[in-house]
Amino acid sequence: MDNRYAVMDLGTNTFHLLIAEGNISNFKILVHEHIAVKLGEGGINKGIILPAPFERGIATLKEFAQEIKQYKVQHIKCIGTSALRNASNAGEFISQVKNDAGLSIEVIGGSREANYIYGGIKAADVLTEAYSLIMDIGGGSIEFIIGNKHSIVWRESFEIGAARLMDRFHHSDPIEQPSVEAIYTYLEHKLGNLFTAVERSPVQQLIGSSGSFETFAELAALRRNEIFDLASIKNYKFDYHDLQMVINELIRSTHDERAANAAIIPVRVDMIVVSSVVTRYIVAKLGINQIALCTYSLKEGILAEMMQIL
């Protein structure tokens, strides 16, 4: 079909497949899959894809290729991010995917990843004239973007994603306070460029791009007995105190408590803890009290580009 598009976002934790038709302002989703491949499992801080996640990745992309074929999609993009940027055997993985699934993976740099995330947020029509800080917490990297509805003024990708932080700091259940403090110290050291950028371009709100912020929103809505359907929203504004309560509870929680919570999808059960620590740190450090979720992210930014070019 000439107006059908497939976007694959090969993240460090999750592989996403989005098949859509139409135009970016009013597209119809035909397929939206997210598979917990955990490509970075065991090897994310060693710069290698280990055999088990390697095989899971290949198997998942073979399945994606079949769905793309089934829907007769003509316009296809398959994007690799942090795990594939840094793995010494990424070339081997890319070659095997091409051979076994017939898909060509394009590995993008952090700046381009940030551009696509901004494109997704912009397509959701949630930006205003004022500057917002967009934060996308991935498994391998975290992207920060300062911009408004017109343009980006600053962006940077930091290789400090949730899988990396968990591997480095989260070794007890629940996470111990010294580990939380160690993450704070690590972020203080790593994020100097972000703090300088926010001083130069003060921001009015923090927009969390999909991922962990979707879980925060579901839990915050539960606290308020609100009906919450993630599939039907683009934007959710948090009550500041509700968000703080949700984050604090997640940081104090055990694995079993999180696993038993239907609002937390399995792939996020453990990584949501370090994501909560990062979010609490950023909000406190920058003094931001207007916080929102945008359900659009990288794949919608790629989709927007494809729909505008073709």
Which amino acid is it at 200? R
Domain spans of the chain?
4-108, 124-298
In this prediction, residue 3 carries a pLDDT of 86
pLDDT, mean of residues 270-298: 96
Write the CB contacts of 302 (distance below 8 Å, at least 6 apart in sequence): 7, 9, 77, 79, 116, 119, 120
Q: Kindly report the number of other CB atoms within 10 A of residue 280's CB atom.
A: 19
State pLDDT tens for residues 181-198. Answer: 999 999 999 999 999 999
- Tokens, residue 279: 């979010």
Q: Name the average pLDDT for the chain.
A: 94
Rounded CA-CA distance 63/76 in Å is: 15
State pLDDT tens for residues 35-47. Answer: 999 999 999 989 9
pLDDT band at 308 (very low <50, low <70, confident <90, very high): confident
pLDDT band at 229 (very low <50, low <70, confident <90, very high): confident
pLDDT band at 309 (very low <50, low <70, confident <90, very high): low
pLDDT band at 294 (very low <50, low <70, confident <90, very high): very high
In this prediction, residue 25 carries a pLDDT of 77
Closest CA to 55 of 86, 109, 101: 101
In this prediction, residue 1 carries a pLDDT of 55
Q: pLDDT over 70 for what percent of the chain?
A: 99
Contact 86, 140 (CB under 8 A): yes
State the pTM of this model: 0.94
* CATH code, 4-108: 3.30.420.40
pLDDT, mean of residues 256-285: 95
In this prediction, residue 61 carries a pLDDT of 98
pLDDT band at 54 (very low <50, low <70, confident <90, very high): very high
In this prediction, residue 228 carries a pLDDT of 80
Which one is predicted more confidently, 308 or 64?
Answer: 64
Q: Does domain 124-298 fall into CATH 3.30.420.150?
A: yes
Contact 266, 86 (CB under 8 A): no
- Among the listed ranges 20-29, 134-143, 155-164, 188-197, which one has the minimum average pLDDT value? 20-29
* CATH topology agreement for domains 4-108 and 124-298: yes
pLDDT, mean of residues 269-275: 96
Write the CB contacts of 161 (distance below 8 Å, at least 6 apart in sequence): 12, 44, 82, 137, 138, 139, 140, 141, 142
The helix (H) or strand (E) run that includes residue 18 is strand 15-23
